Chain A
Amino acid sequence: MTEPTTSDRDRGATMRVAPAPATPAPVVGPRASGEPFAALRVLEQALGSACEDLFAAAPFPGDQATGHDVNRQVDELVDALRALQAEVDDLARAMAVARSRREGRS
């Protein structure tokens, strides 16, 4: 699987600052290489580290019922964050595959 590289993004940035042609730029090319791979990876890491931090910060509320509810709150938030993290990872991979296919065709 092709992973986005810094050089790809740099090349995209260079092409965006080039003088604009008379006709609109094609979708495949500069626009494709400007896709937010890095932002998706940063989001994925932020979601993962939030899950770890929440699990690490187990409080002692002093009351069993309250403790149970606080733990449930953390568990449900972490479940939702993990699901979103999986979606972000899947999206980044799908975009990388689509880009490598486009580059293979061109």
Chain B
Amino acid sequence: MVWSIPEPSPAAPVLGDPASLSALALALRHGAAQIEQAVVDLDPSSVASRRHATRVRAVAREASALTGSMSRSANLLADHAGELADAVGLAARVVDRARSAGLVVDGPTIHPASGVRGVVDAEAESSRAETMRRLQQVLSAILLDLDTARRRLRDDLATERRAVRNR
């Protein structure tokens, strides 16, 4: 018989999967490289019809524009994967340090763990409060940096999308 509902586990401070972002960057680079290789093999001078030769040149031009955009997008995503991996790693260290100090990291906030922790000790409580304040500052800085990186990625991707549309 269940006497109480277990508390939900605290949310991770940093969400995201750097590996899947890197995988998308790799797919973009791989696709761009294959298309570039195929474009190198296109030879408009071997086309009998002038009209078709013009179309072959246009295809090559458009393919080059697209592969350029794919490569730039891949670089943006790979850079962001690195930033996200750094944030995930730093946040994990904050979680570990908080746990060792009897604190809980729940999403973007740190609070004391619930329940009885031991004998009331004013000095220990004061030390814990100081640790909590310090770790909260570190976590806030990590999340702020990540938020800035995410905003920059969104702006850069929007610029690339405009370039694809206006090619």
Contacts and interface: CB of A to CB of B under 8 A. Distances in A.
A and B part of one assembly: yes
Interface of A: 27-28, 31-32, 34-36, 38-40, 42-43, 45-47, 49-50, 53-54, 56-63, 65-66, 69-70, 72-74, 76-77, 80-81, 84, 87-88, 91, 94-95, 98-99, 102
A49 B32 CA distance: 11
A94 B84 CA distance: 48
A62 B84 CA distance: 9
Interface of B is mostly: helix
A57 B24 contact: yes
Interface of B: 14-17, 20-21, 23-24, 26-28, 30-32, 34-35, 37-39, 41-44, 46-49, 52, 55-56, 59, 62-63, 66, 69-70, 73, 77, 80, 84, 150, 153-154, 157-158, 160-161, 164-165, 167
A72 B23 contact: no
A53 B27 contact: yes
Interface of A is mostly: helix
Nearest to A43: B38
B164 to A, nearest CB: 5
A98 B49 CA distance: 8
6 contacts: A59-B21, A60-B15, A60-B17, A70-B24, A91-B56, A102-B48
